[in-house]
Structure 1
């Protein structure tokens, strides 16, 4: 794997789990343009690497997953530059959302602004008990720009999303779990082990089918796609896969399946 200035990458060759750690602890892992580009590059590398089967995304230190965008970098932008920043962030985060390899956000502290948007781009979110979520951009005269207005609405519903984005309020991990923003809440010391075990459970299933589930669910929210047709097409494709033959044969023979992702 390549080395990055603001990210730490660690691949467990036995499980195929790649852990990507945002590593700007002095800045509470705030997202600047360089970090967003590194996120995009690292995910492209991971998607192209057959040794990577699933990804855990987390932040360094005990305080923050990502505490937000790097405000000093945004302060002098004009409208044209601001649109470019939004588009680059959306491109990077859409790459995560559309990854056919499962991605879990291990939210180990503050997930605010761009950090909340980054967590929401992941397929699942596991929060430590000290985690805090929020979209406080209105306090700066801004709105979420990396897909937050869309994904927060999808996850918690229109009324609550509007309230959170218009007030800029932060919510604790247990409230995020109640709303459906977090899948699980665990003690901080158990966060990464829990994420690893959850991801291992997912990776024990048929890789092609996991990727198709992601595609079909994403199609529900894509106006250019027909969700039911995407599902029917993917369901049909399963029948031509080796994984389907192996899965059904293993079931009939009452043994664990040995999926190959083909």
Structure 2
């Protein structure tokens, strides 16, 4: 049985983590997700992606039993996860996390690497690593302060406490709370909306957000480049003609 199932919905690819009972992030699961990501990025028909979990968990962190058995290979496991989550964050195509339950440790780190985070009311979030005598290894101490500020991140990282969906929404860790039975469809609808937008413009926005050091000069350069694309011509023409644009990513 695949640890990551895939389902294409028009221009959107849905990835579902399936590693019972809590969708822990084992090395094989990360490898399958990386391969699935490669295929989606190489497929011009796919313009956005959604990641969710099977059952009642999104992902409850690294697979601790297999983690302990890695021995000297633990560094490779850590590097692999960092590289994968960086690729999710830097993906040219937008990725939405549909958080259907607890997202803890590596699960929270994966969700934070996504562009949008939509959660059900039962979702919980946290970096509990300190309770095991360790710390986050896949970007928890890097992305969490960027998303919710240093003060809130310090509290969660030092205590290892988990927070519910309402608090996560209040402090800016997630974007929306949606009833469980509507969660995936809502996320797919949001992804479908992103898929209808100009891919090159979305990619430029993501690059600027990921590289704030580019500043105003970088924004102006990207804008000038986009103005020379067919998508910009189509968007402006469609606006003037009062019709819906058809963007093609060129």
Indicate yes or no: 2:60 matched with 1:72: no
Query: How well do the aligned residues superpose, as a CA RMSD in angstroms?
Result: 1.3
CA contact (8 A) 1:243 1:261 kept: yes
Any residues of structure 2 matched to 1:239-254 within 5 Å, and which? 239-254=227-242
Calculate the TM-score normalised by the size of structure 1: 0.92
Instruction: Answer yes or no: is the 8 Å Cα contact 1:8–1:23 preserved in 2.
Output: yes
CA distance in 1, matches of 2:236, 2:242: 10
Which of 47, 55, 60 aligns to 2:49? It is 55
Task: Give 1:103 deviation, angstroms.
Answer: 0.4
Q: Is the 8 A contact 1:217 1:227 kept in 2?
A: no
SS at match of 2:119: strand
Tell whether 2:8 aligns with 1:11.
Answer: yes
In 2: Cα distance, 1:164 partner to 1:48 partner? 37
> Structure 2 length as normaliser, TM-score?
0.96
Higher mean Cα deviation, 52-61 or 251-260?
251-260
Higher relative contact order (CA 8 A, sep 6+): 2
- Describe how 1:118-197 pairs up with structure 2 within 5 A: 118-197=110-189
Superposition pairs for residues 81-92 of structure 1, below 5 Å? 81-92=73-84
Does structure 2 conserve the Cα–Cα contact (< 8 Å) formed by 1:7 and 1:22?
yes
What is the CA–CA distance in structure 1 between the aligned matches of 2:106 and 2:41, rounded to whole Å? 22
Partner deviation per Cα, 1:191-224 (whole Å, 9 max, x = no partner): 011112212222222111111111111112xxxx
Count how many residue pairs are aligned between Structure 1 and Structure 2: 250
Q: Secondary structure at the match of 1:144?
A: coil
Following the alignment from structure 1 to structure 2, what is the Cα–Cα distance between the partners of residues 200 and 85? 33
